[in-house]
Amino acid sequence: MATSDVTMHLLHEVDRLRPLIKDNAASAEANRQLSSAVYDAMYAAGLFTMLAPTAHGGLELHPVETMQVWEAVARIDASAAWNLVMNQAIAAYAAWLPAAGAQEVFRNGPPTVAGALNPPAAATRAEGGWRITGQCPFGSGCHNAQWLAMPAIEMDGDHPKLDPATGQPVAAFGVFLPRTAATILDTWHTMGMRGTGSTDYAVQDLFVPDHLTVPVAPLTHPAPGFEGPLFRMWPWTAILGEATVSVGVAAAAVDEAVQLCKTKTPAYNATPLREQQLAQFQMGKAKARVEASRDTLACAAEAAYDDVVRSNALLSRDAKIRLQLAACFAADACAEAVRFVNDVVGTSSIRVGQPFERHFRDAHVLLQHSSKSSARYGSAGRLMFGLDNDWVWLSF
């Protein structure tokens, strides 16, 4: 599909912010969180508005166009791109809120929201809402986001309350809370994607009103302004973004390796890398995997968007299978592309002064994310065989 003028403007903004993002990438790695300067600059440039509804000041962009912007940022810094993806994608979960809740969260325009939906905190009923106590991991961008989201489940004493009809725990739900209401913990110590600040956050006996609670279930009654097809695709807009970060990492690795190969002659070797057939072969394979990943994600996203527009309903099973397989393939193929690059550049791949060791770490940490890990190939395969679904987001 053609790139719109709006997306071209956003891509120009990314290019304008390139020096700032690049200059702060190392400190984000060291501090294990994105710098406020980068986060605030991306917000001021409108980059967090792509998935927000037009009724609340957002752009409500087609997912293929958002992926172009996410990849452009990921080519500069994977952690900045991850925060950009997650904190606007989770904000779109506000579509499940009652009208009053959506109005509060979006009262100052499109917000940034960090959070995850496992494991659930303990919830006790109170007048007009719930009292919440718990700790949530993987709060990417929680140091800078304006709001947090976390899961909760109603408790009966020390155990989850049971549904008398099924004998199973009652359904979990989500809550929105201001970031200032939670304690940010220091738990993010990882091999890669260090700059995302995906640490734990906790609340203790926090009151959350009913209008800031949401079901963990397919969208049936969207909040006013959230009726468009983009929100019927949630959370797949987020998962497409997560996989797109892998594309950006691998694309950057390929580009940087090509430049290195033009000038490097390996030690104990008289032939420059650019003239070595093995290097040519491996770089060709790496480039092919990046291009195939990008194209597969774009085709799956466009087909899924068309699916919800045509049906005026939620995603079909076939569309979700295609999206899941595209995300898994992209993460897998891009990690492989980075391994080809590292084989080519040799000891340059292990030196901290070179970019390749970080690309390697980031690409392989991204490969472990639950939405596109190896197990999700199996989740898609179960649905192909007509078996029961084992992955929550394939039920949305």
Has residue 158 got a pLDDT over 90?
A: no
Under a CB-based contact definition with an 8 Å cutoff, are residues 61 and 48 in contact?
no
Under a CB-based contact definition with an 8 Å cutoff, are residues 213 and 175 in contact?
yes
For 147-190, give the DSSP string.
EEEEEEEEEETTEEPBPTTTSSBPPPEEEEEEGGGSEEP-----
Q: b/e string for 152-176 if b means 16 or more Cβ within 10 A?
A: bbbbeeeebeeeeeeeebbebbbbb
Cα 353–Cα 191–Cα 257 angle in degrees, nearest 5: 40
> Which structure tokens are listed for 247?
């594309």
| Angstrom distance (rounded) from CA 135 to CA 7 | 37
Has residue 2 got a pLDDT over 80?
A: no
| Angstrom distance (rounded) from CA 162 to CA 243 | 37
Under a CB-based contact definition with an 8 Å cutoff, are residues 181 and 203 in contact?
yes
H or E element at residue 80: helix 78-89
The mean pLDDT of 20-37, rounded to a whole number, is 97
Q: What is the DSSP letter of 206?
A: E
pLDDT grade, residue 266 (50/70/90)?
A: confident
Domains of the chain: 5-94 (1.10.540.10), 112-215 (2.40.110.10), 233-395 (1.20.140.10)
| Angstrom distance (rounded) from CA 138 to CA 151 | 12
Q: What percent of the chain has pLDDT over 90?
A: 90
Distance of CA 195 to the CA centre of its chain: 14
pLDDT at 375: 96
pLDDT at 289: 98
pLDDT at 117: 84
pTM of the model: 0.96
Q: What is the DSSP letter of 68?
A: H
> Which structure tokens are listed for 284?
């060709």
Mean pLDDT of the residues in the chain: 96
Helix (H, G, I), strand (E, B) or coil at 342: helix
Helix (H, G, I), strand (E, B) or coil at 244: helix
Nearest by Cα to 191 from 322, 315, 67, 78: 78
Sign of the CA dihedral 324, 174, 35, 190? Answer: negative
For the segment 31-50, what is each residue's pLDDT rounded down to a tens digit? Answer: 999 999 999 999 999 999 99
Please name the residue that has the structure tokens 């997306």. Answer: 7
pLDDT grade, residue 268 (50/70/90)?
A: confident
pLDDT grade, residue 165 (50/70/90)?
A: confident
The mean pLDDT of 340-363, rounded to a whole number, is 94
**Amino acid identity at 245:** V
Distance of CA 341 to the CA centre of its chain: 24
Has residue 345 got a pLDDT over 90?
A: yes
The mean pLDDT of 324-348, rounded to a whole number, is 97
The mean pLDDT of 297-322, rounded to a whole number, is 96
Give the ranges where 32-77 is alpha helix by DSSP (H): 36-44, 63-74
Please name the residue that has the structure tokens 């940087």. Answer: 256
**Amino acid identity at 115:** G
pLDDT grade, residue 350 (50/70/90)?
A: very high
For 99-135, give the DSSP string.
HHHHHHHTBTBS--EEE---SPEEEEEETTEEEEEEE
Question: Distance from first CA to last CA of the chain, Å, rounded?
Answer: 26
Q: Count CA within 13 A, CB hemisphere, residue 353.
A: 2
Sequence-distant (6+) residues with CB within 8 A of 263 are: 272
The mean pLDDT of 169-188, rounded to a whole number, is 96
Sequence-distant (6+) residues with CB within 8 A of 71 are: 81, 244, 245, 247, 248, 251, 294
For the segment 73-98, what is each residue's pLDDT rounded down to a tens digit? Answer: 999 999 999 999 999 999 999 999 99
Give me the numbers of helices (H) and strands (E) for the chain, helices first please.
11, 9
For the segment 118-154, what is each residue's pLDDT rounded down to a tens digit? Answer: 899 999 999 999 999 999 999 999 999 999 999 999 9
pLDDT at 269: 83
Q: How far is CA 151 from CA 112, 203, 216, 263, 381, in A?
A: 17, 12, 9, 52, 28
CA dihedral 49, 52, 55, 57 (to 10 degrees): -20
Q: What is the DSSP letter of 354?
A: S
| Angstrom distance (rounded) from CA 167 to CA 280 | 61
